[in-house]
Amino acid sequence: MSAAAQSSLSIATPEGVVFSYQLATPVSRCFAWIIDAVAIGGMTYFVSRVVNIAGFLSADFANFLSVVLYFVISVGYGILLEWRWRGQTLGKRVFGLRVIDVHGFRLQFPQIALRNLLRPIDSLPLFYLVGGVAALATRWGQRLGDLAANTVVAHERYWDEPNLDPLAPAKYNSLLAYPRLAGRLRTLANPEAVAFALRAVTGRDSYQPAARLELFAELADYFRSLAHFPEAAIEGLSDEQFVGAVLRVIYHAPGRPHS
Amino acid sequence: MIVDWSRFVGAEKSYWDELEQVLAKLESNPEYGLSLAEVQRLHYLYERCSGDLVRLDQFSEPRLRASLESLVARAYGAIYETRAPVRIRWKAAIYAFPRAFRRHLGAFQLAVGITILGCAFGWFAIRKDPQTKAVLMPFSGLMISPRDRVAIEESSKTDRLTGVKASFSGQLMTHNIQVAIMTMAAGITWGSGTFLLLFYNGVILGAVAADYIAGGQGTFLAGWLLPHGSVEIPAILLGGQAGFILAGALIGWGSGLPRSARLRAVAGDLFAIIAGAACLLVWAGMVEAFVSQYHQPVLPYTLKIAFGVCELAALAAFLGWTGRE
């Protein structure tokens, strides 16, 4: 176990590509577990109502079914769902979490079974205290079942193309009339600065007015230093509008529709 | 240099979508066998998308990068996974259990040794001080003297399990499976938890045996315990075996492999052993409820003992010889 907890798990492929998984926090896993506990409770209640029908034939047999099916549901819920849904239970699906192999390989059934069969230890003495402490103490936030099965729980990622239309519509972008200067911007702009500018534009409503003015003034100065657009192109544009127009130029070449 | 984002996405998105479709097909059907042409195409798409990801290193657009990373990660898992996908084939599943048992015979012997140690402790504790019975055997049914219990059981005219046999059987099955799972899971404590559980089970067993044999009720004891115990006790020992396999993989004595590789190597065997033990405990639960609780004159002790010995021999033969190559 390592004390240095990480928020992501990086895997380097033999091709020299590095990809990373955003690891789930104990809190998000706890919320997912609450949903799973409710689902198990609901299923058990439903099954016990159905089993009561068998009570008309034999009360003993109905009790037998109740005892066995509760056990099967409580143990099999995680195993079956994580197997069928590739590392997800209902709770994990709701919170966008997924169990993955620690080396990025395909998740195997024995791994899923093992991490679920070790829940009795993780849940000791109450409310997953042992598992929670283990998750806080290990590098990748693994409970003991995850350690034994070589798994981690990570956030799912979705394809979400940034939509700059509401922030910087191409229709009114005066910078697009200067393709050579726009090309120079694309060539010289620092990627980190561009990513930072994108975050600033999309999250602009969260800034205090004074801080917002200062932030966009600095960004606008930086982009102006890379390409000197004619006064006619930038006349009347606030710093914030200028940064939005720059992003539009960088992300979408002129004449290309938003993909 | 920043790539032209729009042109880049426009040119590459069809490949990403194609890779996504191939992966979705593989993930929805793990048994799907790719043809050579499909394998080559998958490899091409993986390399192409990996290349795209490298190009994106120069362009920190976080959401696009996260999406491509996810795609490359899934493709990487599909291409570099060397373990065969799990296929449910009954014959192979049945063989997997005894083969896993034989592969880790040392762990089973350790579990047997610790249980015998516990038995010896329980035996001598009861022989030295019979007053420890209440502590070592916390079951109300065992508190009366063995002679009195045998007299009650043999003279009973009614079936005390009438109407509850099936539910009693279900409780025994689920409780014993939980004990076996716990014994395996406790191996994660570097084996100390498994050691304690096996030792405690042994203490109870030794104490009960000492009490009944000292009371001259050895035949009753054998007739009572053997029908279900000849399967139940080995099943708990199998849980202990699984626990020590887990502990061995964690500790890694004499292995040059990293911990994750050691754990990966035993995961299949752990599952095979604990699943096999659970199946045995279902049988043991039925036998305990429907056979073990009936004594002479309803069921002669010799018949019950013979039944238990046959079960034990069958289990030993199954674990020792089934699936030998």
CA distance readout (Å), B137 to A240, B128, B140, B292: 78, 15, 8, 19
Q: Are residues B116 and B260 in the same domain?
A: yes
Q: Is the preceding omega at residue B297 within 30 degrees of 0, hence cis?
A: yes
Q: Cα separation of B184 and B181, whole Å?
A: 5
Chain A to chain B Cβ contacts (< 8 Å): 177
- Cβ of B67 within 8 Å of Cβ of A114? The answer is no
Phi-psi region of A44 (alpha: psi -120 to 50; beta: other; left: phi over 0): alpha
Total number of domains in chain B: 2
For residue A144, the chain B residues in CB contact (below 8 A) are 185, 188
pLDDT tens, position by position, B100-141? 999 999 999 999 999 999 999 999 999 999 888 888 887 777
**CB-neighbour burial class of residue A18 (10 A; exposed 0-12, middle 13-18, buried 19+):** middle
- Cβ of A21 within 8 Å of Cβ of B193? The answer is no
Full residue range of the structural domain in which residue B23 is found: 5-80
Domain-located, residue B209: yes
- Cβ of B80 within 8 Å of Cβ of A192? The answer is no
Among B80, B103, B132, identify where a domain stops: B80
Q: Are residues B152 and B246 in the same domain?
A: yes
pLDDT tens, position by position, B2-47? 556 667 777 888 888 899 888 888 877 766 778 888 888 999 999 9
For residue A40, what are the contacts with CB-CB under 8 A and spacing of at least 6? A73, A74, A77
Domain-located, residue B221: yes
pLDDT tens, position by position, A192-236? 788 788 888 877 778 888 888 999 999 999 988 888 888 888 888
Domain-located, residue B203: yes
Q: Are residues B56 and B113 in the same domain?
A: no
- Cβ of B67 within 8 Å of Cβ of A118? The answer is no
- Cβ of B72 within 8 Å of Cβ of A108? The answer is no
Question: Least CB-CB distance to A106: which of B78, B181, B268?
Answer: B78
Q: Cα separation of A53 and B65, whole Å?
A: 54
For residue B223, what are the contacts with CB-CB under 8 A and spacing of at least 6? B295, B296, B299, B301, B302, B304, B305
- Cβ of A194 within 8 Å of Cβ of B4? The answer is no
**Is B170 near chain A, with CB under 8 Å?**
yes
Nearest to B167 by CA among A52, A76, A56, A66: A66
- Cβ atoms B146, B217 nearer than 8 A: yes
Q: Are residues B68 and B110 in the same domain?
A: no
User: Higher pLDDT residue, B53 or B220?
Assistant: B220
Q: Are residues B165 and B272 in the same domain?
A: yes
Domain-located, residue B85: no
Among B32, B59, B80, identify where a domain stops: B80
For residue A21, what are the contacts with CB-CB under 8 A and spacing of at least 6? A8, A9, A11, A100, A152, A154, A155, B73
**Is B267 near chain A, with CB under 8 Å?**
yes
Distance from CA of B281 to the nearest CA of A (A): 13
Q: Are residues B72 and B116 in the same domain?
A: no
- Cβ of B271 within 8 Å of Cβ of A71? The answer is no
Among B60, B80, B100, identify where a domain stops: B80
Q: Pick out chain A residues at pLDDT < 70.
A: 1-5, 157-172, 191, 252-259
- Cβ of A71 within 8 Å of Cβ of B174? The answer is yes
Q: Cα separation of A36 and B285, whole Å?
A: 29
Buried b / exposed e over B49-72, threshold 16 CB at 10 Å, is: bbebbeebeebbbeebbbbbbbbb
In B105-134, the residues whose Cβ lies within 8 Å of chain A are: none
> Does the pTM exceed 0.90?
no
Nearest to B270 by CA among B210, B181, B207, B171: B181
User: Higher pLDDT residue, A189 or B226?
Assistant: B226
Nearest to B173 by CA among A225, A75, A166: A75
Worst-scoring range by mean pLDDT, A158-167, B153-162, B296-305?
Answer: A158-167
pLDDT of A116 reads 96
- Cβ of A105 within 8 Å of Cβ of B7? The answer is no
For residue B13, the chain A residues in CB contact (below 8 A) are 259
For residue B64, the chain A residues in CB contact (below 8 A) are 159, 161
Q: Are residues B161 and B190 in the same domain?
A: yes
Count of C-beta atoms within a 10 Å radius of residue A185: 21
For residue A102, the chain B residues in CB contact (below 8 A) are 260
Q: What is the mean pLDDT of residues B61-71?
A: 76
